Amino acid sequence: MSNSKQMDPMSHEKVSTDGIYADEDGHEVALKRGDEFPADLVLGETTWELKGFSMQEGEIDHTGKDNTSLRKHVDRGDK
């Protein structure tokens, strides 16, 4: 067991760092700062672990570059 007291983010929390995240089942997704962590189709609400920092779509930067600016979201009322 890890001695770390840091908790991984949960579904529906806001993403604070651009990156590639994996859920408890190992499904990976690229998320940007300001996005919301999705729920897994099978597991429902799940925790997410940062696997790497994203540079461009499909690329991972393991050097830890600064975040990009927040994405603006429009409420489309489809929830």
Residue 7: pLDDT band with limits 50, 70, 90: confident
So what's the pLDDT on residue 42? 84
Q: What is the pLDDT of residue 1?
A: 44
Determine the Cα–Cα distance for residues 66 and 69; give it in Å rounded to an integer: 10
Helix (H, G, I), strand (E, B), or coil: what is residue 14?
A: strand
pLDDT digits (tens, 9 = 90+) for 11-39: 999 999 889 999 998 889 999 999 999 99
CA distances from 79 to 7, 55, 70, 75, 76 (A): 27, 30, 21, 9, 8
User: Who wins on pLDDT, 7 or 31?
Assistant: 31
